[in-house]
Amino acid sequence: MQGTIKKKISDKNFGFIGQEGGEKDLFFHANELNGVSFEDLHEGDTVSFEVKQGDKGPSAVNVQKS
């Protein structure tokens, strides 16, 4: 899937990705980045990712800069 970085919470190392198609924004954590550092991601960047269902709902994993 693809989406856009909507918000980064730098001091907590997580953020939210807006999904194409207008579905609910997905949580992502810096531990789920692949090939890019958290510091190199910026709001508005396009990323690809997979969706994982967790206890707190869906989140983005295997996040890569497009």
Is 80 exceeded by the pLDDT of residue 22?
no
Say how many C-beta atoms besides its own lie within 10 A of residue 60's C-beta: 24
Say how many C-beta atoms besides its own lie within 10 A of residue 4's C-beta: 16
Model pTM score: 0.93
The answer to whether domain 2-65 has CATH 2.40.50.140 is yes
What percent of the chain stands above pLDDT 90?
A: 92
3-state secondary structure of 11: helix
Contact 46, 36 (CB under 8 A): no
Is 90 exceeded by the pLDDT of residue 20?
no
Report the pLDDT averaged over residues 10-37.
Answer: 95
With cut-offs at 50, 70 and 90, classify the pLDDT of residue 39: very high
As a whole number, the mean pLDDT across the chain is: 96
